[in-house]
């Protein structure tokens, strides 16, 4: 297994963990944590490919990851603000309770 393959497997495992958490945990904040984990896994993927890819001097991977970090930060901020606002309204962060769009 090449190093790249290792990094890729790691990143996909992290991704799967994050996904599992996002899909199974009740608390909304934990769903957001799972999402952050997924994003980080993707960043790792990028950096791995940058490092073992054909043109490292293009710095594409790094730039992309930088922007990804920035966006993820913004998104975390907004998401948590939303959770807080929802908590203020519903008095709970249980995502299962937020189903007023009944099917």
Partner 1 sequence: MLWIVKNLWLIPALPLVAAGLSALAKQPCKKFASSLAILSMAGALVLSCIAFKAALAHSGSGEAANQIFNFRWFQFGASEADWVRIGWLLNRLTAVMLVMVSFVSLLIFIYSTGYMAHDENFTRFFCFLSLFAAAMLGLIIANSLLLFFICWELVGLTSYLLIGFWYHKPSAAAAAKKAFITTRIGDLAFLLGMVWLYAQTGTLLFYDQGHGCLEQSALATLTAQTTVFRLTVAGGIGLLIFLGAVGKSGQVPLHVWLPDAMEGPTPVSALIHAATMVAAGVFLVARVYPIVSASPDWFVGVAPALKVVTWVGVITAVFAATIAVAQNDIKRILAYSTVSQLGFMMMGLGVGGVAVGMFHLITHAFFKALLFMGAGSVIHGCHEEQDIRCMGGLRKFMPVTFATYAIGMMALCGVPLFFSGFWSKDEILHHAHLWSVSRWPFYLGAFGAFLTAFYMTRQVFHVFFGNCRLELGRTTGSEQHTVAHGGEPASEHPHSELPPQPHESPASMTLPLVILAVFSILLGFIGTPAWPWFQKFLEGQVATMNMSRLAEPEVLHLMLVSSVIVFIGIGLGWWLYGRKSIANANELDVLERVRPDIFHLLRNKYYIDEIYEWAFVGLNKRWAQACAILDDLIVSGLVHLIAYVIVGLSWISKTVDDEVVNKGFDEGCHGVSTGAGWLSRLQDGRVQNYLRVIGVALIVLVLFLLWGCKG
Partner 2 sequence: MSASFIILAAITIASAVAAMTLRHLVHCALALAITFAGLAALYLQLDAQFVGFAQVLVYVGAVAILIVFAILLTRGSEAPQQSIFSSSWAVGGIIAAAVFAVLAVMIRKSRLSELVAPAGTTTTVREIGDRLMTTYILPLEVVGLLLTAALIGAVIIAMKEEPK
User: Does residue 42 bind partner 2 (CB under 8 A)?
Assistant: no
Within residues 26-55, the interface with partner 1 by CB under 8 A covers 28, 31
Binding segment (CB under 8 A) for partner 1, from list 39-47, 56-64, 75-83, 91-99: 91-99
Per-residue DSSP letter, 57:
G
Give yes or no for residue 98 binding partner 1 (CB under 8 A).
Answer: yes
Residue 22 φ then ψ, to 5°: -65, -30
Q: Which segment (24-32, 41-49, 52-60, 76-84) binds partner 1 by CB under 8 A?
A: 24-32
Name the 3-class secondary structure at 1.
coil
**Quick check: 89 binds partner 1 (CB under 8 A)?**
no
Q: How far is CA 13 from the centre of its chain?
A: 13
Cα–Cα distance measured from residue 39 to residue 85, given in angstroms and rounded to the nearest whole number: 24
Binding status of residue 98 toward partner 2 by CB under 8 A = no
Q: Is 103 in the site for partner 1 (CB under 8 A)?
A: yes
Measure the CA–CA gap between 29 and 32, rounded to whole angstroms: 5
């Amino acid at each position: 297994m090449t190093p790249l393959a290792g990094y890729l497997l790691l990143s996909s495992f992290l991704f799967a963990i994050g996904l599992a958490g996002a899909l199974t945990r009740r608390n909304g904040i934990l769903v957001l944590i799972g999402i952050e984990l997924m994003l980080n896994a993707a960043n790792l993927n990028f950096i791995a490919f940058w490092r073992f890819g054909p043109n490292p001097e293009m710095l594409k991977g790094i730039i992309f990851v930088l922007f990804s970090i920035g966006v993820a930060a913004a998104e975390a901020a907004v998401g948590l603000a939303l959770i807080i606002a929802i908590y203020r309204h519903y008095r709970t962060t249980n995502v299962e309770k937020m189903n007023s769009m009944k099917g």
